Amino acid sequence: MITGEGVYLRGPESDDYPQWSTLRERSRDFLKPWEPTWPHDDLTRNAYRRRLRRYAQDVRDDRAYPFFIFREQTGELIGGVTISGVQRGVQQCCSLGYWAGEPHAGRGYTTAAVRTLIPYVFEELKLHRLQAACLPENEPSKAVLRKCGFQEEGYARGYLRIDGAWRDHVVFALLRDDPRP
């Protein structure tokens, strides 16, 4: 578990399924424009079990580190944040992705979660670069990254497949030695 300002992060567990599926279902229309297309069975218990197995394998292989975001005071599930695409060797980098359920959006929880995860990336995983990308029109996401010290680096054409279409993204990065707010 990693604790931060008003939030804590921990790996997803099987007991999280009811909260996770309820929050995702409740937030489906809110999240759809910003995420890859959901499989037809995405919110089923079996799909969640497959997700947990994939997460465990990714952690064992040092490829990705998924976390759920919980509100510190209540233990309520807020959303998720994932470090993925871990590269060792000469690159020493990874990518950051995050989501918050609609009832929790715009309340500072995502910013707190990203701030909480930054030291983990640089101090625990010993990486040099943390990057993130968001759709050009996603002003809330760009604000989260800027508040956490990320610098905008440019525009990537057809970078990720979002809601069924290859979409351009704005790329941000934070380096180990960059100043943080």
pTM: 0.92
pLDDT tens per residue, range 35-93: 888 889 999 999 999 999 999 999 999 999 999 999 999 999 999 999 999 999 999 99
Band of the pLDDT at 125, cuts 50, 70, 90?
Answer: very high
Assess contact for 81 and 113: CB atoms under 8 A.
Answer: yes
**CA 60 from centroid of its chain's CA atoms:** 19
pLDDT at 164: 86
pLDDT at 100: 96
pLDDT tens per residue, range 45-54: 999 999 999 9
DSSP-assigned beta bridge partners for residue 99: 80
Burial degree of 19 (CB within 10 A; 0-12, 13-18, 19+):
middle
Q: Would you say residue 181 has pLDDT above 90?
A: no
Mean pLDDT of the chain: 95
With CA atoms as reference, report the closest residue to 79 among 53, 98, 64: 98
Q: How far apart are CA 118 and CA 175, in angstroms?
A: 10
- Percent of the chain having pLDDT more than 90? 88
